[in-house]
Amino acid sequence: MAKSKIAYFCQSCGFESPKWLGKCPSCQQWNTFVEEVIEKGGSQAPAWKPASTSQQRANKPVEISAITYSEEHRLPTPDKEFNRVLGGGIVPGSLVLIGGEPGIGKSTLMLQLALNMPGQKVLYVSGEESERQIKMRAERLPAPHPEGGVKNSGLRNPEDLQARPSAGGCYILVETSTQNIFKQIEALEPDLLVIDSIQTLHSAHIESTPGSVSQVRECTAELLRFAKETSTPVFLIGHITKDGMIAGPKILEHMVDTVLQFEGDRHHVYRILRTIKNRFGSASELGIYEMMGEGLREVSNPSEILLSHRDTPLSGVTISATLEGMRPMLIETQALVSASPYGTPQRTATGFDTKRMSMLLAVLEKRCGFRLGVKDVFLNITGGIRVEDPAIDLGLAAAIISSHEDIPIPFKTCFAGELGLSGEIRAVNRVEQRIAEAQKLGFNQIFISKYNLPASGQDKKRMDLSRYNIDIKIVSTIEEVFSLLFG
Ligand code: TYD
Ligand code: MG
């Protein structure tokens, strides 16, 4: 029996210490250290033993111009939203982490992908559900892609492998030990591996329980080695803890190539797949899905679903032209300002940062003289979507004032501008894309910042607003916006 070794791990950031500490020196959190038994068992065979390690080749520095590469080949998936967040398809040998709260639909998303990969052999490893449960779920999901290699819902057991070893398809393995998983992988040789979830795996090299920092780290490291050595893409599903961190320990985030977050309000049907980190593409992309009775449906035109189609204008409702990643999106923003029945006014924001809301209210109070300090203010971004684009400021400010004054904003009006502390409307990025989207959806006017226009000395041709047949209102301060809107 190998001698067991004990270490203490910070549950928040994964910092390792030989003795217990009250405060983590890495992330400064208190009381986060937990004892974990780590046992480097000398007798066990390594989980993933790549052929090349035996040669112990030492790398030499190479001048960058001398490095050659071929245009990396990406594996497109039938899911366009998924391709978008990955930056154009799956990169061979990449390790992708998909985080999200329990019950949000991570398993559904990945199983749907596994079932629909055309001509690929996918191994879906589940440590959470039984084969029957997965089969039942698969039966509910939409029919596999017509040109895909998956037939009649495609689920097979690894034992059937001998019959048709080269065919594509989706294989299910219910297993939690990494040693056994790698054994099955060697026999099956899948083109794609999905792990549901990383917190349920355990490696025989580490004694501590599945889901602990040292286990999660070791299992991810083994899968990382496997992905890089064999160029097989690996998707890891990871649960998010209450405070929003993927797998508790942040350590996972820097080990993997791409971190995607699946989020949304469980009471709404829309789900957002957001890129948090991507070594192979933009980190601000967004995919939108609708959770249906039969799985997830891609939403390719988000603006149309995020706008409500009402006939009479209401006070406190505005439309903002936002941009998520490369995609413009028109979103309905709502505000409700009412007299506070109690001494302390309430401020609640759904889908928007509360601190930023306080800032907007302070600017409106100080620069425009609205007495909002004694009012309850509620903000809501429809569809259960969280928006980080600062261009939404102007639309929200207009909604707050519209509700406060009880005057509706004219129909077919939208906004794109950031609000500065002095009440100035600041420029936003890619304003032309926002204007084009507003025009496409039949809006009559859009408010944008003066600072988005090229300065007088600059090339005027760079931005030609005359080619849009939408009324573009150029504003520089919040006061100007209100005199234009409410006279
Ligand atoms: P699941 O993928 O199990 O979530 P996670 O793996 O993130 O924990 O999703 C579970 C939820 O999704 C569950 O509340 C039911 C709902 N759901 C549907 O609405 N339609 C479907 O077709 C499926 C499979 C699930
Ligand atoms: Mg699940």
Interatomic CA distance for residues 41 and 120, integer angstroms: 36
- Residue 3 phi/psi, 5-degree rounding, is -70, 130
Number of H helices, E strands in the chain: 11, 22
Task: Output the CA 237–ligand 2 centroid distance in Å.
Answer: 8
Task: Output the CA 107–ligand 1 centroid distance in Å.
Answer: 7
| Residue 109 CA, closest ligand 1 atom number | 2
Interatomic CA distance for residues 133 and 144, integer angstroms: 18
Residue 102 CB less than 6 A away from ligand 1? yes
Element (H, E) at 80: helix 80-86
Q: Within 10 A of 336 (CB to CB), how many other CB atoms are there?
A: 18
Task: Output the CA 293–ligand 1 centroid distance in Å.
Answer: 9
Mutate to test the pocket of ligand 1, among 263, 266, 291 (most ligand atoms within 8 A of CB): 291
Binding residues: 100-107
Q: Are strands 286-292 and 192-196 parallel, antiparallel or unpaired?
A: unpaired
Q: What is the pLDDT of residue 44?
A: 54
Q: What is the pLDDT of residue 190?
A: 93
Residue 454 CB less than 6 A away from ligand 1? no
Q: What is the pLDDT of residue 2?
A: 53
SS3 (DSSP) at 357:
helix
Q: Just give the CATH number of 306-454+463-486.
A: 3.30.230.10
Binding residues for ATP: 100-107
Q: What is the pLDDT of residue 163?
A: 43
Residue 294 CB less than 6 A away from ligand 1? yes
Interatomic CA distance for residues 194 and 235, integer angstroms: 5
Q: Just give the CATH number of 75-300.
A: 3.40.50.300
Residue 250 CB less than 6 A away from ligand 1? no
Distance of CA 459 to the CA centre of its chain: 38
Residue type, 357: M
Residue 267 CB less than 6 A away from ligand 1? no
Q: What is the pLDDT of residue 435?
A: 92
Q: What is the pLDDT of residue 459?
A: 57
Contact 313, 95 (CB under 8 A): no
Which stretches of 369-447 are DSSP H helices? 393-405, 431-440
Residue 295 CB less than 6 A away from ligand 1? yes
Mutate to test the pocket of ligand 1, among 98, 107, 108 (most ligand atoms within 8 A of CB): 108
The domain limits of the chain are 4-39, 75-300, 306-454+463-486
Residue 111 CB less than 6 A away from ligand 1? no
CB-count burial class (<10 Å; 0-12, 13-18, 19+) for 106: buried
Q: What is the pLDDT of residue 201?
A: 92
Residue 137 CB less than 6 A away from ligand 1? yes
| Residue 140 CA, closest ligand 1 atom number | 22
Across the chain, which has 487 residues, the per-10-residue mean pLDDT values are 74 84 87 78 56 61 80 84 91 92 90 89 93 91 54 47 57 93 93 92 86 87 92 91 57 87 82 88 84 87 75 88 84 91 87 91 91 91 83 94 92 92 92 89 91 70 78 92 87
The number of the ligand nearest the C-alpha atom of 297 reads: 1
- Give the pTM: 0.76
